[in-house]
Structure formats: structure tokens, C-alpha cells
Structure 1
């Protein structure tokens, strides 16, 4: 774990996964899901790089994307 800010953001993403995400149909084309990818990116790479990786992933997750397995790179 990198630091306190990235742990807090990862906890907020987890809260989203538990409380908000179940209210909507599963639409992520990737595995792990975009929210899990973001959580792992924040914990692995910190706030700045984790945010950049998360935004790039969300931009790639669209109806024209092939999707598939796309883990957070270490």
C-alpha cells in the first residue's frame, strides 16, 4: 500500500462497489471491472498514476471495445 490518500480513495471506490454499483446492470467489458481496476491502480501506483490509469481504462470501456482481461500492470 502506497500511502494514506490512495488508501482513502481505494476505500471510497470499494464503498461505491458495495453500495452503488449493485443498483445498475453490469456493463463493464473488461475483467477486472473498471471499478476494481481503479481500486487496484490506486493501491499499487498511488493517487496520481492510479487516477490516470483509471481514467484511461474508463475511456477504453465502451460499446466498440473488445474488452477482455486487462489487469493493473505492476
Structure 2
């Protein structure tokens, strides 16, 4: 990535994360306190998909964290065994 691109994209990325991260975390918490209570403990993963997504957003920011959360939720079907699936560290691509 060129220096000019880096100077343009990084501040924009920080601004987006600063704005969207709290909003996404608020929506996840709302889900956990409302809908999740009615659905019950259905998640085949540990931690649950909502906890995983919240942690991914805290670690990786709003955009990549939401992407990791959607990727995780897409594995939630009867043909996937589930199990322990932790958020990858910042330096590890998934």
C-alpha cells in the first residue's frame, strides 16, 4: 500500500470504527438481552455467536469484526460440528 493511500485510508478506517463499533456493540447487547432470551441457548459454538461477534468487533474493529461475526454465523447449521472457536488475534488472518 502506498504512503498516500495509507494516509487517506487509515484515518477513514479509524473514524468508521470509532463510529460503528459502539453502535454494533449496542445492537448485539440489545439482541442478547431481548431476542436471545426467547430463543434460548441454541448456539453450537463456544463462545456464542453474539459474544464472538462482540469480541471480534472489540479486537478487530467494526468492519472486520462484523465480517468475522457473519462468517461465524454462516457456519451455524446442522452440518457443522461447532465447538470452541475463538476470535483470531489481530496479526492472524482467517
Aligned residues: 73
CA contact (8 A) 1:10 1:40 kept: no
Superposed displacement of residue 6, structure 1? 0.6
Query: 1:1-74 maps to which residues of 2 (within 5 A)?
Result: 3-74=18-89
Q: TM-score, normalised by structure 2?
A: 0.71
Q: Which segments of 5 or more consecutive residues in structure 2 lack a partner in the other structure?
A: 1-16, 90-94
Give the Cα–Cα distance (whole angstroms) in 1 for the partners of residues 29 and 50 of structure 2.
Answer: 8
Q: Which segments of 5 or more consecutive residues in structure 1 lack a partner in the other structure?
A: none
Superposed displacement of residue 3, structure 1? 2.4
Q: TM-score, normalised by structure 1?
A: 0.88
Structure label with greater radius of gyration:
2
C-alpha RMSD of the superposition: 1.3
